């Protein structure tokens, strides 16, 4: 086992000095609907619709700590739990191997204790009832009781860009998740997109008042 452990070359697989979205921007995005952020950014950042909250009330907002894990193995997730910072959201690409429970009660407990803001994984998790009880927001492709391995020689990366669906998520990006899904906003666009999203929300509230007063969408939007 000692020989295998040496195969984990941290300097070439792990980054810890990442730039993150400013905390004030994250706070402004905290109550923004994911659909509004997606639209305000020019229809960007929507992760696959299969990735949904494990419990209906779960909501995520924070900065991406990205993980490229080998399929069917969660050792890289354990490594990330040591290095991620309070406010981070773990964003995991599991190499297209969906039918495993990469995450459960034990890892959730550690993540919550460390002040992380959630998990988004393009794969399965388990212990759904316990995750809901603990209250740490987890978004996954589904539930799976199938266990994972711990291969010390398996290749993976921490804080390298990951491709989930047709979206590339980079470390430090803004991650927001609600019941509708998950959106990833590039770090260097986050402040602008959040401001546009706030304006969009205000505009839609004004439109709803006009609808309540008896107008219709055909007239308001100029449809024909």
Residue 9 confidence (pLDDT): 73
Length of the chain in residues, anyone? 224
Query: Has 88 been labeled as part of a binding site?
Result: no
Look at residue 80 and give its three-state secondary structure: helix
Query: Has 114 been labeled as part of a binding site?
Result: no
Residue 185 confidence (pLDDT): 98
| 185 conformational bin, left if phi > 0, alpha if psi -120 to 50, beta if neither | beta
Query: Has 89 been labeled as part of a binding site?
Result: no
Residue 7 confidence (pLDDT): 53
Helices 75-83 and 105-113 cross at an angle (nearest 10°) of: 10
Query: Has 105 been labeled as part of a binding site?
Result: yes
Residue 1 confidence (pLDDT): 34
The pLDDT averaged over each successive group of 10 residues in the chain (224 residues) is 51 92 97 97 97 96 97 96 97 96 98 98 97 97 96 92 98 98 98 97 96 95 92
pTM of the entire predicted model = 0.93
Query: Has 17 been labeled as part of a binding site?
Result: no
| 96-125 exposure pattern, b = at least 16 Cβ within 10 A, e = fewer | ebbebbbbbbebbeebeeeebbbbbbbbbb
| CATH architecture of the domain formed by 2-21+43-185 | 3-Layer(bba) Sandwich (3.50)
Residue 6 confidence (pLDDT): 46
Query: Has 194 been labeled as part of a binding site?
Result: no
């Amino acid at each position: 086992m000692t020989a295998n452990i040496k195969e984990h070359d941290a300097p070439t697989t792990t980054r810890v000095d990442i730039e993150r979205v400013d905390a004030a921007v994250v706070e402004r995005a905290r109550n923004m609907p994911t659909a509004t952020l997606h639209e305000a950014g020019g229809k960007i950042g929507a992760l696959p619709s299969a990735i949904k909250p494990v419990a209906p009330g779960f909501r995520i907002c924070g900065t991406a700590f990205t993980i490229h894990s080998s399929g069917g193995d969660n050792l890289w997730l354990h490594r990330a739990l040591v290095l991620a910072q309070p406010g981070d959201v773990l964003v995991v690409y599991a190499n297209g191997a969906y039918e495993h429970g990469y995450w459960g009660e034990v890892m959730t407990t550690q993540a919550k204790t460390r002040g992380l803001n959630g998990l988004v994984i393009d794969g399965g998790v388990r212990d759904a009832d316990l995750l809901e009880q603990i209250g740490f927001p987890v978004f996954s492709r589904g539930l799976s009781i199938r266990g994972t391995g711990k291969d010390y020689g398996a290749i993976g990366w921490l804080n390298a860009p990951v491709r989930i669906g047709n979206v590339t998520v980079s470390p430090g990006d803004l991650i927001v998740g609600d019941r509708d899904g998950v959106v990833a906003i590039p770090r260097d666009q986050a402040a602008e997109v959040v401001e546009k999203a706030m304006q969009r929300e205000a505009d839609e509230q004004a439109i709803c008042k006009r609808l309540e007063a008896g107008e219709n969408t055909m007239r308001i939007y100029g449809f024909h």
